[in-house]
Amino acid sequence: MKKNEKVKKTKKSAGRKQKTAENIITSDDELDPNVQESLELTEPEEKKVKCLDILQRNIVEISSGKGHNTYFSKSTINVGLFYFEVLIKQNTQTILEYLISNKKCEENKKHDEFVKKYYSNVNENPKIFSPTVRIGLCNQDGDFELPLGCNELSYSYRSSDGYLINNGDYFVGNPVYGVNDVVGVLIHLKQPMPDFLKLKENLEKNSKGIVKNPQSYLKFYLNGELLQNSHFSGLWEGSYHVGATLYNFANVSMRFAKKDLKYFQRIESEYKNVKLIVE
């Protein structure tokens, strides 16, 4: 990872991981009914992961409920150079509107001290609870129950502060983004190295035995402009799921086909061999 400014670290983020992991999967009644048709819910082993069916759709519209909701593509990308875009849309609702209109919340508030404190915080600090988006990818061996960027095998770019996030570490210095902005994602995945080369190069290896390929990288663009301050290089080997983490009624449109990509011509002029996720 190249970085302009100091990494913001992690004792805090470790606690945040434990806190947010409990709320990442929501019940179906928290999803917009129009969104449910374009999503496929799978339950691999004991996990529940919301999957985007990007094989059949050029555009996938996603709206979250309250709290964190993370979605991943059902299919993966592996060797090659890939590009896709995400349009940030107007939010369908605010957390304050939800709390005011939800009678069940009002009933809980009367009996639960923690909930009372939460509602009070929302009213006093609405900006802290504003909708937030993380755009990125997760390795097939990563933890799908955490928001993107919370573990070592996933990477993200966050809307509220412009942080690039990996393994709970924050890399600062990039612009925030919001409604009507377009985030572009370019990922270059090299062919996995033969075992004898991995030993020879003495590549970094994690606890699962996965090594970092120094030639693989992930770059983010905002409205067609490459983020200048930092990008991820030396990605972990393996296939990757496209993903998005949405917080408090955030709303995005994920776009994969050439005709729907606003800045693809710029990318194509710079990278002649770039591939599309949906042809």
119 is a domain residue = no
Query: What are the residues facing 155 on neighbouring strands?
Result: 137, 166
Q: Residue 161: which domain range?
A: 11-94+130-276
Give the whole-angstrom CA distance, residue 123 versus residue 121. Answer: 5
Are the beta carbons of 242 and 144 closer than 8 angstroms?
Answer: no
Where does residue 92 rank: exposed (0-12), middle (13-18), buried (19+ CB within 10 A)?
middle
**Cα 225 from Cα 234, distance rounded (Å):** 22
Higher confidence at residue 126 or residue 134?
Answer: 134
CA distance 77 to 60: 17
- pLDDT at residue number 37: 34
For residues 80-85, average pLDDT: 97
At residue 249's C-alpha, the angle toward residues 246 and 108, to 5°, is: 115
Q: How confident is the model at residue 105 (pLDDT cuts 50, 70, 90)?
A: low
Q: How many domains does the chain have?
A: 1
Band (pLDDT 50/70/90 cuts) for residue 92 is confident
The C-alpha atoms of residue 89 and residue 81 are separated, in whole angstroms, by: 27
Assess if residue 30 is contained within a domain.
Answer: yes
Tens-digit pLDDT profile for residues 237-265? 999 999 999 988 899 999 999 999 999 99
Point out the least confidently predicted range of 40-44, 114-118, 157-161: 40-44
Residue 250's Cβ-side half-sphere holds a number of Cα atoms within 13 Å equal to 30
Q: Give the model's pLDDT for residue 202.
A: 81
Per-residue confidence (pLDDT) for residue 48, from 0 to 100: 56
Beta-carbon neighbour count of residue 275 at 10 Å? 12
Strand pairing category for 212-222 and 182-189: antiparallel
Mean pLDDT over 16-20 rounds to 33
Share of the chain above pLDDT 90, in %: 49
Give the whole-angstrom CA distance, residue 265 versus residue 250. Answer: 28
* pLDDT confidence band for 30 (50 / 70 / 90): very low
Share of the chain above pLDDT 70, in %: 71
pLDDT of 4 reads: 46
Token output for 160: 């509220």
Q: Is residue 101 part of a domain?
A: no
User: What does the pLDDT read at residue 124?
Assistant: 74
For the ranges 135-139, 228-232, 237-241, the lowest mean pLDDT is seen at 228-232
- Is 3 inside any structural domain? no
Query: Residue 107 falls within a domain, yes or no?
Result: no
The answer to whether residue 43 scores a pLDDT higher than 80 is no
The answer to whether residue 198 sits within a structural domain is: yes
Whether 75 maps to a domain, the answer reads yes
Q: How far apart are the first and last CA of the chain?
A: 30
By mean pLDDT, which of 47-51, 122-126, 144-148 is the weakest? 47-51
**pLDDT confidence bin for 230, thresholds 50/70/90:** confident
- pLDDT, position 23: 27
- The region of weakest confidence among 63-77, 149-163, 176-190 is 63-77
CATH number at residue 225: 2.60.120.920
pLDDT at 184: 98
**Does residue 125 form part of some domain?**
no
pLDDT tens, 115-126?
666 667 777 776
Name the nearest CA neighbour of 178 among 67, 93, 90: 90
pLDDT at 31: 33
Averaged pLDDT of the chain: 78
For 150, residues 6+ apart whose C-beta sits below 8 A from its C-beta are 13, 16, 17, 20, 21, 143, 165, 167, 168
Can you tell me whether residue 31 is helix, strand or coil?
A: coil
**What residue ranges in the chain does DSSP mark as E strands?**
39-42, 49-52, 59-63, 68-73, 80-88, 132-139, 154-158, 164-166, 169-171, 182-189, 212-222, 225-226, 232-236, 240-247, 251-255, 275-276
